[in-house]
């Protein structure tokens, strides 16, 4: 069995949703194969996952829809959306449909804690290697559309050197701190922040080219994660890598990075354990050693973060990425 067969196996019967949670199986299959190149290891993990998690099955009976817009943000219409994509896109290719969807709905990249854009990026990366993964792109696109929740886009630009200083101002702001520490859900905190005019004025994006923007984002995301091991902050990092993977599918890639900055920053400011203090991040182990340790994990997020951080390191050579995944592995081992 090859990776295309493994990803597509049973995927038609499985929903991207698991009650209030997410079906990570297609993503972790690709991530684990990417860091090991070992189909047997992936198959063993799949068996473990299926024995320990219950995935929602797709509905056999579902209503027909007349457009993608009918499905936008309607998770119960996943099957309807997938059916529409497969039967009503006319002469448009799947690549063109992904581009048109991301052009129309770029504010949705943080939907479902960035899971929708992450799955779409994995699907596209796999498809660009093996066109037989087109069904997974269709499934991921239906998930992006039905899971859609609009984020925001700040306008104030700062240099990447000022990211930590400006972030500390937002952390210490009394009004935003009150929202962060309030006893409400993540979604409610995000809504309060996005609807706050003062927050929209003080929030920032990072000026410069791709490298400036990415390194500036990582400057706040990495310490926020390794000081907390927060699953929210972890997904901000994996979401960043997803946007980079899909760079050729956005109408304006720099704006997509600005949306990622806005939404990641807002997710960070919803967390009570937010701490962006930098640590001594020197790690002696090689990437090969760290990836091997990660591949032995049974935690889907550890595997996906290892895949993400190595991809980001190969592109931008940010050494703290190695420490960030290694810290995650060490904490997991202690527990």
Asked if residues 204 and 154 have their Cβ atoms less than 8 Å apart, the reply is: yes
Q: Which two tokens stand for residue 147?
A: 């899971």
- Is residue 96 pLDDT above 90, yes or no? yes
- Mean pLDDT value across residues 183-195: 96
pLDDT at position 280: 93
What own/partner pairs with CB < 8 Å and gap ≥ 24 does 112-115 have?
Answer: 112/22, 112/147, 112/149, 113/22, 113/231, 113/232, 113/235, 113/267, 114/235, 114/236, 114/238, 114/239, 114/242, 114/263, 115/22, 115/147, 115/235
Q: In this predicted model, what pLDDT tens digit does every residue of 200-227 receive, in sequence order? A: 999 999 999 999 999 999 999 999 999 9
- Is residue 228 pLDDT above 90, yes or no? yes
- Is residue 233 pLDDT above 80, yes or no? yes
- Is residue 277 pLDDT above 80, yes or no? yes
Q: Which two tokens stand for residue 1?
A: 């069995």
Q: Which two tokens stand for residue 161?
A: 């050197």
pLDDT at position 89: 82
| Cα–Cα distance measured from residue 214 to residue 257, given in angstroms and rounded to the nearest whole number | 8
Q: Considering the entire predicted model, what is its pTM?
A: 0.96
89 vs 97, residue with greater confidence: 97
Please state which of the ranges 3-12, 32-41, 222-231, 288-297 shows the lowest mean pLDDT. Answer: 3-12
- Mean pLDDT value across residues 124-142: 96
């Amino acid at each position: 069995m090859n990776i295309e067969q493994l990803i597509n196996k049973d995927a038609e019967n499985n929903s991207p949703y698991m009650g209030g949670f997410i079906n990570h199986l297609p993503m972790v299959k690709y991530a684990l194969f990417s860091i090991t190149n070992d189909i047997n290891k992936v198959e063993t993990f799949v068996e473990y996952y299926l024995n320990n998690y219950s995935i929602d099955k797709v509905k056999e009976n579902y209503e027909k829809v007349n457009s993608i817009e009918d499905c936008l943000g309607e998770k119960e219409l996943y099957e309807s959306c997938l059916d529409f994509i497969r039967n009503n896109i006319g002469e448009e290719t799947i690549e063109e449909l992904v581009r048109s969807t991301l052009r129309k709905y770029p504010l949705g990249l943080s939907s479902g804690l960035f899971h929708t854009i992450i799955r779409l990026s994995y699907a596209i990366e796999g498809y660009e290697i093996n066109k037989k993964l087109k069904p997974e792109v269709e499934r991921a696109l239906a998930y992006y559309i039905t899971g859609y929740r609009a984020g925001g886009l700040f306008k104030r630009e700062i240099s990447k050197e000022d990211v930590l200083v400006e972030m500390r101002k937002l952390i210490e702001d009394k009004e935003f701190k009150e929202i962060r520490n309030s006893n409400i859900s993540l979604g409610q905190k995000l809504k309060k922040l996005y609807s706050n005019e003062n927050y929209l004025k003080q929030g920032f994006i990072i000026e410069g080219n791709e490298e400036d923007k990415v390194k500036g984002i990582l400057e706040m995301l990495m310490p926020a994660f390794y000081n907390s091991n927060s699953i929210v902050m972890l997904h901000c990092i994996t979401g960043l890598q997803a946007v980079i993977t899909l760079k050729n599918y956005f109408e304006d890639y720099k704006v997509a990075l600005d949306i990622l900055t806005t939404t990641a920053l807002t997710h960070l400011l919803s967390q009570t354990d937010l701490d962006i203090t930098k640590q001594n991040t020197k790690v002696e182990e090689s990437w090969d050693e760290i990836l091997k340790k990660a591949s032995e994990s049974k935690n889907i997020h550890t595997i996906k973060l290892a895949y993400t951080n190595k991809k980001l390191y190969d592109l931008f050579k940010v050494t703290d990425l190695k420490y960030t995944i290694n810290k995650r592995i060490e904490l997991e081992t202690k527990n």
